[in-house]
Amino acid sequence: MSTVAEVRTAGAGAGPVSRPAYKVTGRRVLRSEWAKLWTLRSTWITLALGLAGLLVFGSIAAVRYKSLTTSGGTRMGSGEFVNASAVTLALFGVRFGQLALGVLGVLVAAGEYSTGMIRSTLAAVPRRLPVLWSKAAVYGVVAFVVGVAGAFGGFLIVNAVVNGTPAHMSLSDSGVARSLLGAGLYLSLVGVIGTALGMLMRSVPGAISVLVATLLLVPGLLSLLPTSWQDNIGPYLPSNAGEALYALQHAPGTLSAGTGALVLLGWTALALAGGAYRLVRKDA
């Protein structure tokens, strides 16, 4: 009996048991978002589709170009492969890759609202905004790596196919490395825009619809407007600014690579601002 009393007295005098304090830091939020990205079942599939789109479509374009050429020149007339180069052929699949990487960006953010996991995420990170910045940073880096790998890999494959034709180029040629890196940057920013739209719309179908309309439908509908409107508005659309970012040669009336990058960064910042406002102002 006395032993039990002594134990109780010692326990009572020891005070509350100290527990380790866990602090929410930017690094920990980044690690959390990194882990969640790779637990998505769609991540590996979509990234593989984006990479395959760059490699496969570029290879198909190179084979088609090779079949239309002869040892004495080209017989393509005014076709789409006139003045083609290894860079333009390698980046033939960028339009497909942007959809795959953009859709995955939407899933990174809006997918949590569909499953309800966003409540646990915001309970762990009450300040909320670090969640958006971390999602955008983590996925932006992943999309950049995939885009650059696809661009450079596609260039090597295409160059081997078109060897001995006017389209053959060297990686050290002027503008080649800049175009391939620009393609990776464009795909990365499209992925970040997709993430921001997912946070803004909080709906996977809705965000994907807005993304597809922005990248594909609006540029096509612009052709219905007067020519002066097309010249003044067209170059500043996200897809056209991105094309200027990775274009090897710039046609008259298009943006330079630097200006295209700034315009695309502006669109990205605008999308992130919308996602941040919705995240802070509206309940999950």
Tokens of 189: 């920013």
Contacts by residues 115-118 (CB-CB < 8 Å, ≥ 24 positions apart): 118/284
Residue 73 three-state SS: strand
Instruction: Give the N- to C-terminal CA distance of the chain in Å, as an integer.
Output: 55
Helices (H) and strands (E) in the chain — how many of each?
A: 13, 2
Check: CB of residue 34 under 8 Å from CB of residue 142. no
Confidence (pTM): 0.87
- Any alpha helices (H) in 116-256, and if so which ranges? 117-124, 129-161, 176-201, 204-212, 218-221, 227-233, 238-246
More confident residue, 236 or 18: 236
Residues 170-216: tens digit of each pLDDT: 998 989 999 999 999 999 999 999 999 999 999 999 999 999 999 99
Check pLDDT > 50 for residue 237. Answer: yes
Q: What is the pLDDT of residues 4-60, one digit of tens each?
A: 444 444 444 454 545 555 577 878 899 999 999 998 888 999 999 999 999 999 999
Of 260, 236, 265, nearest to 140 by C-alpha is 265
Amino acid identity for residue 263 in this structure: V
Neighbour-count burial of 268, counting CB atoms closer than 10 A to its CB (0-12 exposed, 13-18 middle, 19+ buried)? buried
pLDDT value for 2: 45
Q: Tell me, what amino acid is at 119? A: R
Rounded CA gap, 135 and 109, in Å?
7
Q: Does residue 105 carry a pLDDT above 80? A: yes
Q: pLDDT confidence of 166, banded at 50, 70, 90?
A: confident
d(CA 252, CA 204): 38
Q: What is the pLDDT of residue 284?
A: 67
- Per-residue confidence (pLDDT) for residue 5, from 0 to 100: 44
